Structure 1
């Protein structure tokens, strides 16, 4: 028997439970399970005033102590922390924020007037993958000041396009009342668990579920033979089986063999351990070069080559032969873990009418719906998918992970089933950023004008296709960068291996090829005797120029403006590194791509309905601003509905930096129809009316024979400068971004800051080591940047886009992470003259011992 004071109330616990598990069972949902190993800080609580990780504590360790969660803050504290974090723009996906609030309170209670350095140190135990920490630190300073001075909170809310409108969902996320899937509980709910393959490449002889079925508390155990519909899933190529069957070979460590539903998580996991698997272990294929070798085991029936991309313009070989200066280098980039803070979770609930309702936290409810329907072999109307809050994605929540298994278990049990991965399961299972080997040749004349580039890219797509084909395409179509280069020849090959799958990840292949191209440009600048800034400015695309992929740059192209914005800061330091990047908006290359939205007048408000997923980018707020700008309504006269396949129109996946443009334009078109009616009526008289909007981007396919094909509807451009201090550590990053039009500047800055810090981790500390296809890493050893490591970040927003499409906005989510690594590499190259061609960069103050 153990006692403690919990949020001011004495409580007794009968057994020595894990504190995190106990608190969540008490419905204290501000305490999040992000890793379960004491590394992320999402479960931070105050124990006798000290910020502590609940996942590392037990009832015995808090015996007789006072435990405080966000729910236990005073009403005044709740108001002030909610205001400060919202006003500062500190909230994106929100999953980490209650833990941040607890760490902030622990600091402010002891030091009411902390410095930024003290705030950084206080937040060292809390990981945020979205924000880059800049605005979180500012929020803590604002909260401290408000608490010291008993500040009155402002009431006005700016809400038009271009305003810094506070995020609509921020207060609920800050205070822990926003609901993520794993926060949900329903009567009679069962818990799911999945048995995975014992090794990456194993021939499965038999699966014996008898003992698991007999365990008291187990409701059902299912295997491949229990799937009523299509077993294999996939975005483009359905090559990923929901379960590996007896007599088949597994392809990676995350392959599922069986799934269990039981009355508790503990029993479900015990049952999984009772399943007996007879198998023959086989040597895995662990690199693309192995996969290409003659006689290599065929991972899929059609062979190990997933895709091949070729882009040619002009005559690269002839231009290279005639060039004054030639640089050829090989580059290697590793796989990378998304490390979103919210673990994958799904809750499937059979309804009385036979419908299966599945609550998810992915990047498109319609993608989830399509997979579940095909797996169950049912009609579309028999499955409904609803999104709860999404605790980060970055591309890592586009594929099925738990949704289909939870649905299948619930379908068999006829009871609700919730399935949530552990952090290690998540690390092992979901697709990563593609590891790549690249050889780049870049040449210029005596004036530094780049005349040709040639590249070969080898991409490890892992066990399954996921989005490996499109990722390889983007790596190739963007490989030459935002420059005028008449002669290009780029060849990419994507190979299957027995490594964890690789798929969508912020930057979508361009992070890899940009690192290679921008580093080559630095070497050319050195040979030509001009500065890294100058060579980029001389070659940068202007409106009307032809991009290396053949598309004509539109009037909103502003890469030169981003270069000019950072010129002085780059030239101020001999150790400054610089890099440029471009990134598409929308799927492009002829792929059907439509944003959809509907505005319904209900309860005296304009209710915005769209299935566009928000993983933290502030989509509801941006769409509200577009509606208000278009109609003249106040934001208090609007509302926003969560993605729901029964109610909200399919707006496509939140990927390719597309939602602000595609769904934003769809919302604008719907709002224009509403505005026409509002000229003669008020909202109340329009009750029940619906206004639909749709926007489809028309592009040309890869390999188009047009002289100047339209690859994408828009491109964003950026230039980043990285400054080092005297010790060789990061001092500051200045990031200039051509965003077209910033619908919400605070949101844009948050995206830039988060992308920069993610890019710094990619450049300097993050790795994903594998041994025979098995990840040799846990959350705490991924090398994620923390607040104490993050430098100052200055965001420079360049707005130059006359297009009326979505008020001129262009995507910013992905490009923010792309130029960071080459800019960091360039800074170290200028500092010590050492060329670093592999990520994470070697021999820096951030290098970790291996």
Structure 2
């Protein structure tokens, strides 16, 4: 028997179990989150005798006789202060890490109620945030300290929620206080637990599977193999090449492949039963790189061969332009796989509903999940319902099936609610990553630095399955020439299957890779011409009415030059200093899927009890979409935000607004909200909300684009492009002193949210540039969450954001997507600064021999 004080109440525990498990499973206290179970992320931070400690690495016996405090146990004053401060500062995005941040903040403030920014950074060093870049979290903690120190009354909130207002996120308080429910926070009566047995080898022939021992094990509810799948076994966004379970007689393709599924009444029995499944393997040599996969006679990972897709983009005559140019540079570049490292591991709960299934998920599109699961189970569309809980970060990494299909299948077979969750180790191994790419880029200019042509080859590692490898390669290629005014391009890209973990969607969607190459080449050309990196970008920057390298005419909202001008004075000031070294880079990034693919945003407004329920399936994964659509609604109708309710995505009640991807939701679903809000506003001219009780209003928005390979002289590839210029300042030791990011966002629906997206993207981009890696040994990942190289607060420099607003269009009140572009120019900007510092022209990420990472020789 163990006794301790939990949130000011004495508790007694019979067995010595993990403290995090006890708090969540037995006490149902869900402010502590299971982010990594490795003591690395801080999402489960608690106070033990006033010291911040990670619950995942404590046992109940370790807190015997001590006081344990969580967010649930804070005083009401503290809850109010932290909730207001985090909302006001814009410190909450996906929210999964925030209760842990609050606990670390309380520990600091209790000891030092007048902390400096450096004190705050040190206090939250044990807490990782993947969304915010820490800047606004630090601001929130300083604000909370002042409120508590000075005993200041909290302001009375009086927000009208209009476009352009720094409106508090609609979910900020729930996320700060830990009451927002993510999937793993949900418990259902009679719920059991499921998991998959994964292959031992990245590539092996499955000769036999014996489940008899597991099936007869007490407490086991089901053991399923490939033959138990009632519908289509192969899944995938576009290419259906990913089996839900590998069958006997087939080869595994990567270390995450599932061989069998088990459902059991407890997690302990589940683990024991998985170990009882006997699989006979014939281990085979894995294909560990695209180079190996392209060799003549290489084993075919898929029946059609090892090339997933090839892209060829040609405009003008690049070869002739390059031949006749004054200056030409050619370099080979290498970028790594990158782990998304969202704080919430993948989790889903399947449960029977009638003769179908209901699924609780935390992904990036409930309709994508519905379509995949409907096919897997062989059910009609109306027999599968998917509801989204809160989503603890995504960045593209939650677009594919990871646990959703397995939870649905187990629930369908057992007729019981089944929760399936990945451990952090499983998550790192299983879900698709940012594609590793090997690239060769040639860029040319005349004697004045005017760009004349470029040629590039890109080889992308698609890993074991297609996922979104085709579209990612497309974006890498279509953006490879950068946001500049020249039209002679020759680009060839290949996406190649290997036995590595799959490559898939990741913030930046291929452009992070190709932009690194093209922007670094510009740095070298500027040196050869004798002009600054800023100047070569400015004189070539695309302007309204000019042709982008892909042929699309730049519209009136184009503001690349404005972003560069926003940095000019700072650039010249820091460049003139002898002990500072400046790098700069630009980017463009599409909003919307584009390239001829149907792209539709949808929204429904339903009046219930005098309030307007905003209903769309568009997933909020931390970017703040729920707040954005609320502001667009309030701007259009003039209705008080207190009379609105944002419903979670649910395939039964929310219309299909497409996937949260491609920086599309603010534009497409935002415009759908504006359209339907205009309808409601017109009706309200003659009726009241009370008179409209139970009424539905529907709106949608679509935009037709031209497909890849269009023979139009000026095809329209995307509805809009955002532009950016970012600048980094190094000191003489190679440490980043300051970072400035200027972004053309069209119109900032919520400036605080835009700043948060930029800050978070910059920090993610700094990690990509300097520290993050996803090492593989014979196609098996070797990193843990704590060794991925994620930036912590103590490494983050001063970040200034400049929001450029130029778009006067009515569409979504002029907004463009900003979620992806923020991570694109960061790495080449850092590369340029280091080139200025030491004269070494680095071509591989993460950059080696820096103050952040030494060469592995």
Q: Which moved more, 1:299-308 or 1:633-642?
A: 633-642
| TM-score, length-scaled by structure 2 | 0.99
Q: Which moved more, 1:116-125 or 1:55-64?
A: 55-64
4+ long deviations beyond 3 Å: none
2:579 is equivalent to residue 578 of structure 1: no
Report if aligned partners of 1:765, 1:848 keep a CA contact under 8 Å in 2: no
Deviations 1:451-476 (A, max 9, x none): 00110000000000000000000000
Residue of structure 1 equivalent to 2:666: 660
- Distance, in Å, in 2 between the alignment partners of 1:232 and 1:768 is 27
Q: 1:281 aligns with which of 271, 283, 286?
A: 283
Structure 1: 5+ residue stretches without partners: none
Is 2:410 the counterpart of 1:399?
Answer: no
- Does 2:687 align with 1:681? yes
Distance 1:605 1:310 in 2: 52
Residue in 1 aligned with 2:578? none
User: Shift in Å at residue 638 of structure 1?
Assistant: 1.2
Distance 1:580 1:767 in 2: 23
CA contact (8 A) 2:349 2:361 kept: yes
Match of 1:608 in 2: 614
Which residue is 1:95 aligned to? 96
Q: Deviations over 1:113-142 (max 9, x none)?
A: 000000000000000000000000000000
Task: Determine helix, strand or coil for the equivalent of 1:576.
Answer: strand
Q: Are 2:790 and 1:784 equivalent residues in the alignment?
A: yes
Per-residue deviation at 1:75? 0.6
- Within 5 Å, which residues of 2 pair with 1:112-191? 112-155=113-156, 156-191=158-193
* 2:647 corresponds to 1:641: yes
Q: Out of 739, 742, 755, which is 2:748 matched to?
A: 742
Deviation by residue 1:760-796 (Cα, 9 ceiling, x = unmatched): 0000000001011100111010000000001111110
Deviation at 1:355, TM superposition (A): 3.2
> Match for residue 457 of structure 1?
458
Cα displacement (A) at 1:849: 6.6
Aligned match of 2:345: 343
Say yes or no: does 1:72 pair with 2:73.
yes
Asked whether the equivalents of residues 160 and 634 of structure 2 are also in contact (C-alpha less than 8 Å), the reply is no
Structure 1 counterpart SS, 2:677: helix
Pairs aligned (count): 849
Question: How far off is 1:158 after superposition?
Answer: 4.1
Partner of 2:245: 243
Aligned partners of 1:135 and 1:592: how far apart in 2?
A: 37
User: Which residues of structure 2 form unaligned runs of 5+?
Assistant: 576-580
Give the whole-Å Cα distance in 2 for the aligned partners of 1:190 and 1:69.
27
Give the aligned partner of residue 20 of structure 1: 20
Question: Which residue among 803, 806, 812 is the counterpart of 1:797?
Answer: 803
2:762 is paired with a residue of what secondary structure? helix
Q: Deviations over 1:688-733 (max 9, x none)?
A: 2211111012100000000000000000000000011232101111
Q: Which runs of structure 2 are paired with 1:105-504 in the superposition (5 Å)?
A: 105-155=106-156, 156-351=158-353, 353-504=354-505
* 1:34/1:343 contact within 8 Å kept: yes
The answer to whether the Cα contact below 8 Å between 1:158 and 1:164 also exists between their aligned partners in 2 is no
CA distance in 2, matches of 1:157, 1:671: 19
Is the 1:506–1:817 contact (alpha carbons within 8 Å) kept by the matching residues of 2?
A: yes
Which residues in structure 2 correspond to 1:545-556 (within 5 Å)? 545-556=546-557
CA contact (8 A) 1:461 1:503 kept: yes
For residues 305-324 of structure 1, the C-alpha deviation after alignment (integer angstroms, 9 at most, x for no partner) is 00011111100000111000
Greater mean deviation of Cα atoms: 265-274 or 233-242: 265-274
Separation in structure 2 between the aligned mates of residue 29 and residue 519 of structure 1, nearest angstrom: 46
Q: TM-score, normalised by structure 1?
A: 0.99
SS in 1 for 2:795: coil
* Larger CA deviation: 709-718 vs 688-697: 688-697
Q: Which residue of 2 aligns with 1:628?
A: 634
Measured against aligned partners, the alpha-carbon deviations of 1:375-418 in whole angstroms (never above 9, x if no partner) come to 00011111100000000000000000000001101111100000
Q: C-alpha separation between the residues in 1 aligned to 2:108 and 2:836?
A: 39
How far 1:98 moved relative to its partner?
0.2
Contact 1:768 1:782 survives alignment (8 Å): yes
In the alignment, the residues of structure 1 paired with residue 646 and residue 115 of structure 2 have an alpha-carbon distance, to the nearest angstrom, of 37
1:757 to 759, 763, 766: 763
Shift of 1:803: 1.1
CA contact (8 A) 2:633 2:673 kept: yes
Distance 1:665 1:795 in 2: 26
Cα distance, 1:278 vs structure 2? 0.3
RMSD over aligned Cα atoms: 0.7
CA drift at 1:266: 1.2
Tell me the CA shift for residue 828 of structure 1: 0.5
CA contact (8 A) 2:487 2:550 kept: no
SS of alignment partner, residue 145 of structure 1: helix
1: distance between equivalents of 2:537 and 2:160?
38
> 2:400 aligns to what SS in structure 1?
coil
Shift of 1:686: 1.7
Give the corresponding residue for 1:841. 847
> 2-side partners of 1:519 and 1:300: how far apart?
35
- Contact 2:160-2:640 at 8 Å conserved across structures: no
Query: 1: CA distance between counterparts of 2:799 and 2:688?
Result: 45
Contact 1:609 1:649 in 2 (8 A): yes
Task: Check the 8 A contact 1:38/1:53 in 2, yes or no.
Answer: yes
Q: 2:833 aligns with which of 815, 827, 830?
A: 827
* Cα displacement string for residues 716-759 of structure 1 (whole angstroms, at most 9, x for unaligned residues): 00000001123210111100000000000000000000000000
Deviation at 1:848, TM superposition (A): 4.9
| SS of residue matched to 2:456 | strand
Task: Identify the residue that residue 700 of structure 1 maps to in structure 2.
Answer: 706
Task: Provide the C-alpha distance between the structure 1 equivalents of 2:67 and 2:368, rounded to a whole number of angstroms.
Answer: 45
